[in-house]
Structure 1
């Protein structure tokens, strides 16, 4: 009986897909479904749970052990997130150009974010100017925090040498 259990464990290890590809993203096959889906840009933990529920898959199962049919279901649902998520959960509400509500994932999310920042810079709005100058954009304090760059302070040796030169 122990040999049968060991044989089934070995077959499970062989069936594991170490990398699962969904939405042009490589996901770790050792993670559970709802945590693995968060590896896709634009999909958080709540959206991942909704995706798993829509596909009829237990969110706690390891994604590497899923059959190809279930992975195909996940791919279809991820590609059509606009219809599967409520409108208040979409990450692109009232799009600047089209005015529609949609959910953007992957590299499209990064490109649209960069394009939005470029539009703000072009129209010279307050946020665009702050982005251009590299300042904080959302009203944070800047007097003492958020210092960038390596500004070298006065070192002790340099401070001691300067008064000696002035005395001569």
Structure 2
């Protein structure tokens, strides 16, 4: 199993797909990396030589922000928004959607599982 920047990339998948397991590398970036390093995107990741893996790791480290540094950069940006107390920072702090989505319905991913409110009367109980 090839290991690039501390991430085990799947050996049985195409190289362009395997590279997307690295945080910060999507399909487009993976295709650009393959083109820049003159690697066949359709080859399996297990077929990479040690030299190619080293070349790949060096390219990712030098030219792109990936993995830990990208996570730190995003966390610091969110922390800055929280500290200055702007609207987006407040939404992050409260765990609500940040980009204008509705919350009356369909916000379960951000809000988490439903919290049942005790004391609500049903329609049948009111009659």
Query: With structure 1 as the length reference, what TM-score do the two structures score?
Result: 0.63
**Match in the other structure for 1:27:** 9
Structure 2 residue 114 is matched with structure 1 residue 150: yes
| Distance across 2 between alignment mates of 1:77 and 1:48 | 12
In structure 1, which of residues 105, 118, 125 is the aligned counterpart of residue 86 of structure 2? 125
Structure 2 residue 25 is matched with structure 1 residue 43: yes
**Match in the other structure for 2:68:** 107
Matches within 5 A, 1:76-95: 76-81=58-63
Residues 98-120 of structure 1 show CA distances to partners (whole Å, capped at 9, x for unaligned) of: xxxxx420022112111111111
| Distance across 1 between alignment mates of 2:82 and 2:3 | 36
**Match in the other structure for 1:10:** none
How far off is 1:136 after superposition? Answer: 1.3
RCO greater where, 1 or 2, for CA within 8 Å and sep 6 or more? Answer: 2
Structure 2 residue 57 is matched with structure 1 residue 75: yes
How far off is 1:153 after superposition? Answer: 6.8
**Match in the other structure for 2:41:** 59
How far off is 1:135 after superposition? Answer: 1.6
How far off is 1:20 after superposition? Answer: 0.6
How many residue pairs were aligned? 119
| Distance across 2 between alignment mates of 1:110 and 1:35 | 21
Q: Which runs of 5+ in 1 are unaligned?
A: 1-18, 82-102, 164-168
Cα 1:126–1:107 change in 2 (3 A) is: same
Matches within 5 A, 1:3-18: none
